[in-house]
A and B are shown apart, each in its own frame.
Chain A
Amino acid sequence: MNLTYIDWLIMLLYFVFVLGIGFALKRFMKTSKDFFLAGRALPAWICGLAFISANLGAQEVIGMGASGAKYGIVTSQFYWIGAIPAMAFVGVFMMPFYYGSKARSVPEFLRLRFDEKTRAWNACTFAVMTVFSSGISMYAMARLIQTLHIFDGLFRDLGLPLDWIFHFAIILSAVIVLCYIFLGGLTSAIYNEVLQFFLIVAGFVPLVWVGLKNIGGWHGLRAALPRSYLHSWHGMSNPHTNPLGVDWFGLVAGLGFVLSFGYWCTDFLVIQTAMAANSEESARRVPLIAAIPKMFFPFLVILPGLIAIATPVVTRNVMHQVAPVGLSASSAGNAEYLNAGKGLIPPKVDPVTGKIMLDSHGQPVLDYDLAIPNMLLHYFPTGILGLGLTALLASFMSGMAGNVTAFNTVWTYDLYQSYLHKGDRDEHYLKVGRWTTVVGILISMGTAYVVLGFNNIMDTLQLVFSIVNAPLFATFLLGMFWKRTTGNAAFTGLVSGTLAAVLHHGLTLPANDHVGIHGGWIHVVHYYPSAMALNFWQAIFAFSVNFALTVLISLFTKPRPEGELVGLVYSLTPKPVEHHMAWYARPSVIAIILLTMLVGLNFIFR
């Protein structure tokens, strides 16, 4: 990669501002509330943009571009059906309970509504998952920096060995994230997420613009792609006639209901940004504000994947995999290698033999993860290339930071203050929170190196996340909307739902996969057409088990007196006052507008 001083200058400026914001915020961090909850004083638009950025890590950006190149516009359903209804629901119905109950975290809400054991289960699983996620993010960033040879020129000039780039990337990101969270807590994390939001927009709008212009606009794109690439409902009546391998019911119920509501309505990583808003009214607007850019993000992060496929095959300005030892980057430029690629997507090369990897049909395996990076390298001249790379770096860092602050809060309030060290002064917990940042980042770094050493650790961790998250939403739904739900029932349901997910995974397998980490490790009783189908159905299954058991056990256990549940259950809580708001500013009206727009987008790309 040929970066010039102008690209370096832009990256450097970003780092200066990130750290500067941290230092500027330091003097406002007086109490633990300032540090963990941003003083509950931020305006709705800031929290709203942070709400979607928290989820828009660079792995997400790279992954969405990759899926866009692989499957086409249907990938947008992760941003449409898989987000918008859930965001509208959490804003209109659930936020009054999260914010109004004065709970400081999602696990703490579970203690208020249910009991200690439900909270402890949620707090422990969540804390473990967040530090590991942050570690995976760190690993992915270091790998990308290595693959794109961003620091190669710099290291060569300084006479340092190129092997150190991975360590350098890990330490650099760790130190920067550590500094700004240690200084400014959640406020710092949220401010940087907003900064990242604007950087992604600033970096990707010109990318899509230049890309589309080059291939002849929308018509050129349509002409260059297979027809199914621009239709999201094509062949959805049968799992075998569409690239995702799921039918419409699996997509709507699995992704659109269980997984999406489970994530957007219960994951403290995103909910923490809404809880930092300056009033209940603002907190309710946070997810609704977030839903608007969310709906249009496919045109920024998925469309480049499609353009990468549609761009005529080229030799120059694109990057390939990390060149394996003994195989120089230029030898990969031979004719065979080029013909195996598709547009800007190169084929995968076996790191041992240096040969192009082939699938079971003899077709080359494509390295879709390079769709977005190659788009940047192909279409951006030096200058704006620095901006594009800064946007990617920013999203890695803020992805990590969101996880670290969520870990801080849950560890300090829900585990340390609740079980290990009760009743100390507030300054003590502020101090503990600050040092938890250091510990959290150290564990993340450890995770990054473990992932480096054992390839399938990353698959394992992601599998664990999907299993733990699958049943969660049933517990919150019943807790908030059925006053009869009891603590014992919620706990038993949640644990059984998780076990049901484990069991389902052990008994089923995606077709074309081997028994093991991908499923079927007990005994294969059912084959799914794709890994995605397995994941969706596993969520539906875990949710249903949790839901049914919680209802059943609640009917046989003693409910809490209604007086204790005011502010925690829908039917016992006065409805939020809305009459002073203009009609168009009311959450329910905004939610209806959002859903109408969602239907419209699906109609256009049907």
Chain B
Amino acid sequence: MSLDLRVPMGLMFLIVGAILSLYGAVTHGSAIYDRSAGMDINLIWGLAMLVFGTTMFIFGRRADKHPPAPPVEGTSRPMGHGH
């Protein structure tokens, strides 16, 4: 399969993370953070997702460029002939 999941998934988390942290930065100090124990959870968690998404995306792109060797087949054994 030549679509590495890490590319679209990384991209999604990257975008969501960017949106959340931007929104968190704009609304920093707003009353909406009373409910999240006073933390600007949008900014904090948005940045965490941004880092995660970027890492996934980079690793996925790198793997796409250098396809790995096919994995070693653990065992190959004869099957019964009676089916």
Contacts and interface: CB of A to CB of B under 8 A. Distances in A.
B8 interface: yes
A281 B81 contact: no
A196 to B, nearest CB: 11
Contact of B36 (A10, A187, A284, A381): A381
B8 A21 contact: yes
A214 interface: yes
Given A202-B13, A202-B49, A381-B35, A6 B23 contact: yes
A111 B83 contact: yes
B45 A206 contact: yes
Contacts of A111: 83
Given A10-B16, A279-B74, A281-B71, A102 B3 contact: no
A384 B80 contact: no
B74 A10 contact: no
Interface in A261-302: 278-282, 284
A139 to B, nearest CB: 28
A387 B20 contact: yes
A418 interface: no
Contacts of A6: 19-20, 23
B33 A381 contact: yes
Contacts, number: 137
Interface string B1-21: 111010011011101100110
A38 B3 CA distance: 12
A384 B41 contact: yes
Nearest to B3: A24
Interface centre among B8, B19, B23, B46 (most CB of A within 10 A): B23
Contacts of A574: 75, 77
B71 to A, nearest CB: 5
Contacts of A566: 77-80
Interface residues of B, number: 42
Nearest to A195: B9
B23 A383 contact: yes
A373 B75 CA distance: 47
Contact of B82 (A25, A41, A46, A561): A561
A315 interface: no
Given A379-B35, A382-B32, A564 B41 contact: no
B39 interface: yes
A577 B35 contact: no
A417 interface: no
Contacts of A35: none
Q: For the complex, would chain A's binding face be called helix, strand, loop or mixed by DSSP majority?
A: helix
Contacts of B72: 279, 281, 580
A213 interface: yes
B54 interface: no
Contacts of B41: 206, 210, 380-381, 383-384
Contacts of B24: 383
B39 A384 contact: no
A213 B37 contact: yes
Contacts of A317: 35
Contact of A567 (B36, B71, B80): B80
Interface in A27-81: 28, 38-39, 41-42, 46
Size range of the interface on A?
35 or more
Interface stretch (A12-20, A82-90, A323-331): A12-20
A17 B8 contact: yes
A100 B77 contact: yes
A384 B2 CA distance: 33
Contact of A281 (B52, B73, B79): B73
A9 interface: yes
Nearest to A111: B83
Contacts of B71: 278-279, 281-282
B81 A564 contact: yes
A560 interface: yes
A317 B31 CA distance: 14
A381 B20 CA distance: 11
B9 A567 contact: no
A307 to B, nearest CB: 12
Given A210-B36, A214-B37, A281-B73, A102 B79 contact: yes
Nearest to A587: B74
Given A384-B20, A384-B45, A564-B80, A280 B73 contact: yes
Contacts of A560: 82
B82 to A, nearest CB: 3
Interface in A104-155: 111-112
Nearest to A576: B75
Contacts of A206: 41, 44-45
Nearest to A102: B79
Given A13-B15, A195-B12, A213-B39, A28 B2 contact: yes
Given A111-B83, A280-B75, A384-B20, A46 B5 contact: yes
Interface string B57-80: 000000000000011111101111
Contacts of B77: 100, 566-567, 573-574
A563 interface: yes
A102 B70 CA distance: 19
B51 to A, nearest CB: 12
Given A13-B16, A17-B8, A576-B74, 20 more contacts: A6-B19, A9-B19, A10-B20, A13-B12, A21-B5, A21-B8, A38-B1, A111-B83, A194-B9, A206-B45, A210-B36, A278-B70, A279-B74, A281-B74, A383-B27, A384-B41, A384-B42, A567-B79, A573-B77, A580-B72
Q: Which 7 A-B pairs have the closest CB atoms?
A: A564-B82, A281-B74, A381-B32, A564-B80, A383-B42, A280-B74, A213-B37
23 contacts: A13-B16, A20-B8, A39-B1, A195-B12, A202-B13, A210-B41, A213-B37, A214-B37, A279-B72, A280-B75, A281-B73, A284-B74, A379-B35, A380-B36, A563-B80, A563-B81, A563-B82, A564-B80, A564-B81, A564-B83, A565-B80, A566-B77, A578-B74
